[in-house]
Amino acid sequence: MNSQNKKNTKNQEIKQLVLDRLKVLSPGTIISIGSEGDFTRDQMIENVEDSTEIGELFTEMQIEWLRSFQKLATAQ
């Protein structure tokens, strides 16, 4: 597998991880992303699936969160 394929696979895995976290939220959840707008759970799922700007920002937020655990684990 070349590096581009590896990167694509990793991105797909990250996207799936974020989608899995979104799909288990209560359906009435509203996620407000400042000036970008307010999104229901299902709208955010669509944004992540379609890799829109909002979806990418939300994914970035989730990666930051997961990285913080990695740092914590490394420090311990």
Size of the site for another protein (CB under 8 A): 22
- Of 14, 19, 33, 43, the one binding another protein (CB under 8 A) is 33
Nearer to another protein, 3 or 26 (CB): 26
User: How far apart are alpha carbons 22 and 33 in whole angstroms?
Assistant: 15
If one asks whether residue 6 binds another protein (CB under 8 A), the answer comes out as no
User: How far apart are alpha carbons 59 and 62 in whole angstroms?
Assistant: 5
Nearer to another protein, 17 or 49 (CB): 17
Q: Where are the beta strands (DSSP E) in the chain?
A: 30-33, 37-40
